[in-house]
A and B are shown apart, each in its own frame.
Chain A
């Protein structure tokens, strides 16, 4: 029904009677980029947004739909102005104004009069329309040029505001031409040139808020131009002529003079308007620039060629990926991906020999939300809901005492939890799992087994669909068990006094409880196995047998995780800045790491010879064990792979090597310990008086010396919610208000590295610079502090409509602060990640100045004197290597070819040296 070229000429869109719009890749016909489905009637008109961000279509289904070109998803569907329309026109050729601000529809109705609806880009508002035609509007076509008012001698000195011009054709055989002028100040300058009773412009808004035009009447109206309806309109490229065709078989040409329309702006001026309003759209820039810019030197040419070759090589993968997006979106080329998926699927083996598949990413996260709809739109089938209810309410609503599960178990096959009540006097074991959903249906099955009908098996199956898999030992049964275990731990915490250090006790009662929390759905044999495990654990080396006893491991690791979390939860009374201290305990255990498995056991007040009371510290690392004794009671302990340290009651801090050798004489702390932390060879001690010290034990130097937390905690009721010590000995404090500070030892300052309420993060949008793999690459202290999966920078564009310039600024500011934070945290991995991202953004958006500065710093002086201050590395990364990584990024934008060449040449010189 209609075709339209995209603004950068690489795509062609066509719409058809099959209710779809197809986007063709004009560079590689007949490749289909996307098929836009959603209209429920013949699609009769198409128009591209002049900056290439959207495409709009109008159809017989009384809707106008705007689609995003980024992911080919529906942006909006406008139906209100078309409610009264009938499907009476052959075509519905809508048009987008060349400045991109307005979209004008064909046939719309307003108070039962035919109109051409004006839709604002900003919020897709439909407040204005062109009225006056007596029959439906079939065609709207904007002049491709943007005009400027002709400057007359002696007219006002105000800069003339650019405006657009639009021709409207209708079934009533007449044509009207409207000149739409932006800005209210031109109002009244022009006299309406039409006669009374002719089409006029109408708006419900007061005149001053007119955005589109000052004209209440069209520039010109030609009645009875044809014998039949107007079918199409086309402007000449210079914008001064119109060709109009009609159903009666004739074509008319209208010629305007510049006096009538105004001075057309040049293409450069036009694109400047686009850039100032929308910023550069990548889609347009990349291709338009590549075709026009002259490559100035052979290196660049070579690079570009290489890139093209590379693209050829990776083409398969890329087209696969794009096709995947298109395919899932449209259900079109899904077949193709599927054919290749198995071949392309990356399969590896894990250390323990298991298959591991790397899934093919078929879409970024924010490409629309059909997933939830997918599930929720389907009504819940009655019987299934019933089954589910039993399966879920079973464990939750029937907290049976220990005798009941036995009766259930009796009716069950031997795999079922016979052992529940028997193996242990599980008086307080709620044994939730034993009342599994299956119990009910399965218990029924013996009675129905005799009937030959297939209904019974089906019923039995029903339960199978819902119950959790028990056939898979270990993992699944953990599901409901984990909460129990943790709950139990909590109870412990409640019964005893609340302790900051929540640990798995090695005392006998805690041993009792761990197995109790075990899923009772396990067989008796299993349970016995666990008892064994526990006993082994008492001896302090269960981890060696980790593979044999997955259960004991899985019980412990979540629990000890919570323990670790609790450890760092300190509540600090703000005014006095007195941090809580750990109270003395008789014994506790602390897991340092799970891989390699390492944990510390502390037993205080072990009676020794001569009535002296000693404390024992035991450390177990991958089965190897050492122990030592201290004279004072141990309050808290911490460890890393390199060191183990303990803080004692007498305000002393003792540090041991990984093998248990004492590294230092006891350090006397200025005040009692609050929290102790170890990472690598760094030991961090936070005292109750809110001072923080970090030492590097191996190099025997102080990193942070009794630094007060006063500056970051002062003034409000904030508490430290998490403490982190990076690999480089940088302490990071997460506060309860969502801010995180790290201490910069070289500047002796607390630096803000993360703020949950940071509005910059909310507004930043650097999605175009993100690589699909980036999400997984970025992990480190900064990511930990800021929350791993922060989706910031991706959704911003969708959430807020911010002017592009503002968004650019916020994005830059955000990226820069990320780079700086990563640098301060000395997280080289993250620094590289953010720096590359930042550079990519600078390249995409064309910020040469800052890009040049980065390159200059990374390159350093080529001919350096001995007195050069330049450091060749940054956080352990070689700056020039980083620059080499940046170069391909810079080379992507031909505008930076000089910068590219400069850097390339200087790097070459350096290499040759």
Chain B
């Protein structure tokens, strides 16, 4: 049984200009005081084709974590545009929030991110070299993808064995519902964000 379960992740300030920081409000519940800190990371996927372009936007330690429900805001700077392949600057990509305990990742929340020019003219005729200052980032907050991993919370040998013998399908993630919060301008679904034919994989 995981000691920490993520209750909600709210995407704040969305949509926003490309250069503005990412800001997530994360609430989680811990059913037992943790001996050590949790480590949270925001990873920006620069290109779908390769992990090479993944950028860890930030990683923070969160603690101390006594039993109970907690909440914090995780803010990270925008990705470095120079590390993003030009061909992938505009369009859909992914941002991941991961949490590890004792170096073991136990949850991963992913969001599709659409970078596009809000200016219709630019959208029609995008410049060859992407103009990041004009880009708008839109996180598809209504469709988070959650994966959970079984990890060893105790550093205990017996448990480790049990985990190894466990059915691999157990404890995998379930989609996280992210309730749109009023006043934050979260559209339920952004029209035109996803091509029709890709809906089947969501």
Contact = CB atoms under 8 A, between A and B. Distances in A.
A478 B104 contact: yes
B41 interface: yes
Contact of B72 (A359, A363, A487, A791): A359
Nearest to B25: A338
Nearest to A341: B73
Contacts of A788: 32-33, 35
A468 B43 CA distance: 12
B160 A335 contact: no
A380 interface: yes
A458 B73 CA distance: 28
B98 interface: yes
Given A457-B92, A458-B198, A461-B94, A483 B152 contact: yes
Contact of B71 (A359, A378, A413, A486): A359
Contact of A476 (B31, B58, B66, B103): B103
A465 B94 contact: yes
B131 interface: no
A489 to B, nearest CB: 9
A619 B61 CA distance: 33
B16 interface: no
A350 interface: yes
Contacts of A334: 181
B51 A471 contact: yes
A27 interface: no
B152 A465 contact: no
Contacts of B108: 465-466, 468-469
Nearest to A561: B155
B145 to A, nearest CB: 4
Interface string A360-377: 111111010011101110
A471 B51 CA distance: 7
A773 to B, nearest CB: 8
B135 interface: no
B66 A454 contact: no
A468 B74 CA distance: 20
Contact of B70 (A362, A367, A375, A476): A362
Contacts of A388: 147, 169, 172-173
B104 to A, nearest CB: 4
A745 interface: no
A354 B56 CA distance: 14
A461 B43 contact: no
A460 B145 CA distance: 14
Contact of A375 (B157, B163, B174): B174
Contacts of B7: 370-371, 374
A466 B70 contact: no
Contacts of A561: 155
A397 B165 CA distance: 11
Interface in B158-202: 160-161, 163-164, 168-169, 172-177, 179, 181, 183, 194-195, 197-198, 200-202
A776 B49 CA distance: 44
A468 B172 contact: no
B73 A345 contact: yes
A464 B64 CA distance: 29
Counting chain A CB atoms within 10 Å of each CB, which of B45, B74, B91 scores highest?
Answer: B45
B9 to A, nearest CB: 11
A249 B12 CA distance: 54
Interface in A437-495: 438, 445, 449, 453-462, 464-466, 468-472, 474-476, 478-479, 482-483, 486-487, 490
A775 interface: yes
B177 A378 contact: yes
B51 A413 contact: yes
Contact of B201 (A370, A462, A466): A462
Contacts of B102: 478
A803 interface: no
Counting chain A CB atoms within 10 Å of each CB, which of B31, B39, B96, B168 scores highest?
Answer: B168
B86 interface: no
A483 B164 contact: yes
Contact of B172 (A331, A364, A392, A483): A392
Interface string A539-563: 0000000000000001000100110
A520 B59 CA distance: 24
A374 B61 contact: no
A383 B201 contact: yes
Given A360-B71, A487-B164, A445 B63 contact: no
Counting chain A CB atoms within 10 Å of each CB, which of B10, B30, B35, B147 scores highest?
Answer: B147
Contacts of B33: 775-776, 788-789
B62 A359 contact: yes
Interface in B69-89: 69-75
Nearest to A777: B66
Contacts of A355: 58-61
A372 B69 CA distance: 13
Given A384-B175, A478-B103, A356 B56 contact: no
Contacts of A470: 51
A345 B72 contact: yes
Given A381-B175, A458-B198, A335 B183 contact: yes
Given A355-B60, A360-B72, A476 B105 contact: yes
A471 B56 contact: yes
Contact of B149 (A372, A396, A468, A773): A468
A825 B50 CA distance: 57
B134 interface: no
Contacts of B48: 456-458, 460-461, 464
A469 B43 contact: yes
Nearest to B151: A479
A634 B129 CA distance: 71
A395 B169 CA distance: 12
Contacts of A490: 157
Given A454-B91, A469-B98, A562 B157 contact: yes
B127 to A, nearest CB: 20
Given A356-B63, A413-B51, A461-B45, A371 B29 contact: yes
A415 interface: yes
A775 B7 CA distance: 21
A384 B155 contact: no
B5 interface: yes
A374 B146 CA distance: 12
A393 interface: yes
Contact of A358 (B29, B63, B177, B198): B63
Interface string A382-412: 0111001101110111000000000000000
Contacts of A478: 102-104
A327 to B, nearest CB: 10
A578 interface: no
A186 interface: no
Contacts of B118: none
B92 A371 contact: no
B167 to A, nearest CB: 9
A413 B64 contact: no
Contacts of A829: none
14 contacts: A337-B71, A338-B10, A355-B61, A357-B60, A357-B74, A375-B5, A380-B174, A454-B92, A458-B92, A464-B110, A466-B147, A479-B149, A479-B151, A483-B160
Given A453-B195, A460-B49, 7 more contacts: A361-B70, A374-B5, A472-B56, A476-B98, A479-B100, A483-B152, A772-B68
Interface of B: 5, 7-8, 10, 12, 23, 25, 27-33, 35, 37, 39, 41, 43, 45, 48-52, 54, 56, 58-75, 91-94, 96, 98, 100, 102-105, 108, 110, 112, 145-147, 149, 151-152, 155-157, 160-161, 163-164, 168-169, 172-177, 179, 181, 183, 194-195, 197-198, 200-202
Interface of A: 324, 328, 331, 334-335, 337-338, 341-342, 345, 350, 354-365, 367, 370-372, 374-376, 378, 380-381, 383-385, 388-389, 391-393, 395-397, 413, 415, 438, 445, 449, 453-462, 464-466, 468-472, 474-476, 478-479, 482-483, 486-487, 490, 554, 558, 561-562, 565, 772-773, 775-776, 788-789, 791
